[in-house]
Amino acid sequence: MLAAMKKEIFLRKDELQNKNLQSLYFGGGTPSILSSDEIKSLIDEVLKYFTFDHDIEITLEANPDDLDKTFLKGLADSPINRLSIGTQSFFEADLKLMNRAHTASEAEDSIKRAQDFGFENLSIDLIYGSPTSNLEIWKENLNKTIALQVPHISSYALTVEPKTALENWISKGKIKSPKEEEQNREFCYLSDLLKDNGFEHYEVSNFAKPGFYSKHNSSYWKYKEYLGIGPSAHSYNGFDVRSWNIANNQQYIKKLNSNILAKEEEILSLKDQFNEMIMIGLRTIWGVDLNRLKEKFNGEIIEHFQKEIQSKINGEILIIENNHLKIPEKHWFMADGIASDLFII
């Protein structure tokens, strides 16, 4: 797999217009199963064809149970300078429901160990709205996070995906279905508490102390080009082409062994580009740049857009500030639904 990924890096080295990278992200699965030496070898391969910005952000997604002292020592000696830890919760009942391998104590200990090895730029994932939780437990989760001095938090409502154990348990009445009203309460509490403790709510699901915004995710939200390497990885040219690699590991390796890229691509129509710009922009504090929107799209699309936003502006569900269309933060929990109302079908 590592050899195939290195081959893909070589074959796609000319796809990015900007050869100076601002971010490098190891994610999309569990990259912390790699050794620190294997991670370094992938970084070295990237450096054969690209340069790194002087303050590049290099993130590794990691499970708490992978972050032992030996692994962290190796990472501390590597170019990795940011960890995104899949904590999810500091409560055992939540972790069991989500089928996580780590325990609540491992979740806390992994964060402390990472800090002991010099990793200050940490992000953790937290899930709210679980049937095994409530507002009081959620408050304890957040207070624990604040006490641990984690500077970036990504937080998502628990969703019930089709054909999962959770869906099966709910259908059999073994556990209650998540309630949207409770999730909304916990989302509002999350936002208020973190802002009171120095965090900036810069995207619907993301909070950061000043200086700790995720450069990688911010690139997505600002429509910048990116290159994804490995099975199922997605790429975007910053304009109208999106591509994705096949998911099957063996087929991915087989094709690259034959110097064939294991990817498919699509050309985004103007309607697709419009819908995506609306969806992504309205989830952030930056909103949708109206000047860019009018430069990019034709009169028919702009006419549709202006017609659809008017009633929401009148109802203060949308606002315009400095020529950017935004959703007021008090309505962010419903951001995806608000954005989809503006889509061109």
Q: What is the pLDDT of residues 305-336, one digit of tens each?
A: 999 999 999 999 999 999 999 999 999 999 99
Percent of the chain with pLDDT over 90: 84
Among 28-32, 76-80, 166-170, which is the least confidently predicted range? Answer: 166-170
pLDDT at 118: 97
Stretch 23-43: mean pLDDT: 93
User: Is residue 112 within 8 Å of 77, Cβ to Cβ?
Assistant: no
| pLDDT at residue 171 is higher than 90 | no
pLDDT-based confidence at residue 26 (cuts at 50, 70, 90): very high
User: Is residue 297 within 8 Å of 344, Cβ to Cβ?
Assistant: no
**Right CATH number for 18-221 from 3.10.20.30, 3.30.750.200, 3.40.50.1360, 3.40.50.300?**
3.30.750.200
**Could you give the C-alpha distances from 258 to 2, 80, 254, 320, in angstroms and in order?**
15, 31, 7, 52
pLDDT at 161: 79
Angle, nearest 10°, between helix axes 2-11 and 36-47? Answer: 10
| pLDDT at residue 284 is higher than 80 | yes
User: Is residue 202 within 8 Å of 213, Cβ to Cβ?
Assistant: yes
pTM score, two decimals?
A: 0.92
| pLDDT at residue 249 is higher than 90 | yes
| pLDDT at residue 193 is higher than 80 | yes
Cβ contacts of 244 within 8 Å, gap of 6 or more:
228, 232, 233, 234, 235, 263, 264, 265
Stretch 208-228: mean pLDDT: 92
Stretch 60-83: mean pLDDT: 96
Stretch 76-92: mean pLDDT: 95
Percent of the chain with pLDDT over 70: 100
| pLDDT at residue 174 is higher than 80 | no
User: Is residue 83 within 8 Å of 114, Cβ to Cβ?
Assistant: yes
| pLDDT at residue 154 is higher than 90 | yes
| pLDDT at residue 173 is higher than 90 | no
Stretch 10-37: mean pLDDT: 93
pLDDT at 162: 82
| pLDDT at residue 65 is higher than 90 | yes
pLDDT-based confidence at residue 273 (cuts at 50, 70, 90): very high
Stretch 16-43: mean pLDDT: 93
How many other C-beta atoms lie within 10 A of the C-beta of residue 102? 19
| pLDDT at residue 262 is higher than 80 | yes
pLDDT at 30: 83
End-to-end CA distance of the chain: 40
- Residues pairing with 325 in the sheet: 288, 320
Query: Taking Cα atoms as reference points, which of 120, 141, 133 lies closest to residue 190?
Result: 141
**pLDDT tens readout for residues 111-134:** 999 999 999 999 999 999 988 889
pLDDT at 202: 96
Q: What's the gap between Cα 107 and its chain centre?
A: 19
